[in-house]
A = this chain, B = another copy of it.
Amino acid sequence: MSKNLTSRSQDYSKWYNELVVKADLAENSGVRGCMVIKPYGYAIWEKMQAALDQMFKDTGHENAYFPLFIPKSYLSKEASHVDGFAKECAVVTHYRLKNDPDGKGIIVDPEAKLEEELIVRPTSETIIWDTYRRWIQSYRDLPILINQWANVVRWEMRTRLFLRTAEFLWQEGHTAHATQQEAIEEAERMMEVYADFAENWMAVPVIRGVKTASERFAGAVETYCIEALMQDGKALQAGTSHFLGQNFAKAFDVKYVNKEGQQELVWATSWGVSTRLMGALVMTHSDDQGLVIPPKLAPIQVVIVPIYKGEEQLDQIHEHVKPLMNELKSLGISVKFDSRDTVKPGFKFNEYELKGVPVRLAIGARDLEQGTYEVARRDLLTKETLPQEGISGHIKALLNDIQETMYQKALAYRESHITEVNSYDEFKEVLNNHGGFISAHWDGTPETEEKIKEETKASIRCIPLDGAVEEGVCVYTGKKSARRVLFAKAY
């Protein structure tokens, strides 16, 4: 298989779009802005889901499912929430089609108009807090720690596979607490869970921080986030966790009776990650040869390609590798033997490189004689010939090494792309010639934030949680600033 992949240096954006399609992750559908997630892409998403789901359960959460539709009036109950979501939503107005009396196919039946329009959920705070009102009476009913795996719809005008689609898949956690402190702890805990997942499963280093007021989730008091850096120097928000205060409890009148017998409003959080993570995964690690997938998320961790002449030799190789395949499976390693005779080994090599399979074994007649395997690692594109004895242990260690090496490589890139600047000229110079995160003082006003964004396209990605308090002056206005924030162009 020939890859014909645009290189990153040629056109990073085109490289991404081509790679997602050619590596069989996803493609556009006949429905504007909606993607088809293909089996290979979905298999990676399933691995992400499984890991996250276990992490949610380990932190005490349960899954549930709430309606796809949200009555228009619900959306309106929390003022800033509706402002944030009304402009980009799919609205269901009718519940029936009928034959066109003029014989021109089928039309919407005007008699089947809904009394109240339904919005396809862009996020589920409103429908869930309408439900929580029925579930919560006393402090004994708290906390409620629920997660939902679901599809959501936001009518984006410009879409890109995984990064920004009208429909996407995600999980959304929605929790209810008796106290402010408990809710804040929960929001912070889930940010940490996301950071743990990004770093230890996706091999994507992230910066933990909070959003500025203007970048906050519509309805949140505080938005915690994890921010990753792509290979083109642009940032990508990889997950958010919101402390919602009592905003939704107020909007939906959700109160509980505390131990002292008094009524109080309930405290809330919500948090989510989506199929956008697939985009982050691709853009952090992949190269001009195709995908590079961290072993922990690879649908196929090891592929064995036989180099053979004739069916007899193929059978011989297949028999020979069976014990190894069983050994690998017993070590929890997924392995595929590619016996296709319709394509040549070189085609297969290219295909598995494109698809980012972490380890490729090749075995031919000479390897059979000498008791060896050719072992290639996808991340470094290196290969070596190894004796078959002890090879399964070697592969296990190799997979761990690939996972770690990928993380360290991404971390080194990220670390070399956080630049402290002290003037606006320097800001623009670094942004345009080097990219990455720019650590700069800002006067704390939304006006300055907005002006910098207008002029440079860089937004404040976050106020990093590990940032030191350091007095300085805003690079734009020269006004006083108490700490640096991170700017970047972003996806």
Stretch at the interface among A94-102, A215-223, A287-295, A415-423: A94-102
Which of B37, B38, B71, B90 is in CB contact (< 8 Å) with A69? B90
A344 lies within 8 A of chain B by Cβ: no
Residue A48 CB within 8 A of the other chain: no
Chain B residues whose CB sits within 8 angstroms of the CB of A69 once the complex forms? 31, 34, 90, 167
The number of times this chain is found in the oligomer is 2
A: contact size bracket: 35 or more
* CA of A73 to CA of B39, assembled, Å: 26
Asked if A34 contacts B67 (CB within 8 A), the reply is yes
- In the assembled complex, A194 has its CB within 8 A of some CB on chain B: no
Checking B71, B89, B131 against A96 with a beta-carbon cut-off of 8 angstroms, the contacting residue is B89
Interfacial residues of chain A within 135-167, with CB under 8 A of chain B in the complex: 140, 146, 150-151, 153, 155, 167
* B-side contacts of A337, CB under 8 Å: none
Q: Are the CB atoms of A95 and B88 closer together than 8 Å? A: yes
What are the interface flags for A55-80 relative to B under an 8 Å C-beta threshold, 1 for contact and 0 otherwise?
00000001111111111111110000
A108 to chain B, nearest CB (A): 5
| Residue among B38, B67, B119, B169 making CB contact with A97, cutoff 8 Å | B119
A117 CA / B100 CA spacing, docked (Å) = 14
Cβ distance A257 to chain B, nearest Cβ, rounded Å: 14
User: Which of chain B's residues have a CB closer than 8 A to the CB of A169?
Assistant: 65
Known contacts A39-B146, A97-B86, A97-B91; decide if A117 and B127 are in contact (CB<8 Å).
Answer: no
List chain B residues, Cβ under 8 A from A76: 105-106
Any chain B CB within 8 A of the CB of A93? yes
Does B91 lie within 8 Å of A63, measured CB to CB? no
- Hey, what's the 0/1 contact readout for A26-58 against B, CB within 8 Å counting as 1? 010111001111110011011000000000000
Q: In the complex the two chains form, is B63's CB within 8 Å of A82's CB?
A: no
Chain B nearest CB from A433 CB (Å) reads 39
**In the assembled complex, how far is the CB of residue A360 from the closest CB belonging to chain B, in whole angstroms?**
21
Question: Which chain B residue lies CB-closest to A145?
Answer: B39
In the bound complex, residues from chain B placing their C-beta under 8 Å from that of A42 are: 62-65
Contacts of A153 in B (CB 8 A): 68
A92 at the interface (CB under 8 A from B): yes
How distant is A490 from chain B, measured CB to nearest CB, in Å?
24
Within 8 A of B (CB), among A8-25: none
Q: Is there an interface contact between A62 and B39, defined as CB atoms closer than 8 Å?
A: yes
Q: Is the CB of B87 within 8 A of A62?
A: no
Q: 7 smallest A-B Cβ distances: which pairs?
A: A34-B67, A39-B62, A86-B97, A37-B65, A91-B94, A95-B155, A31-B67
A–B Cβ pairs within 8 angstroms, 24 of them: A29-B66, A29-B131, A30-B74, A30-B130, A31-B71, A36-B65, A36-B66, A36-B131, A37-B64, A38-B64, A39-B62, A45-B65, A86-B98, A86-B106, A87-B98, A90-B92, A91-B93, A91-B94, A91-B95, A91-B108, A92-B92, A140-B342, A150-B151, A151-B151
Can you name 10 extra interface pairs (CB under 8 A) apart from A30-B127, A89-B96? Answer: A39-B63, A68-B167, A73-B105, A82-B97, A86-B96, A88-B96, A91-B92, A91-B95, A91-B108, A93-B93
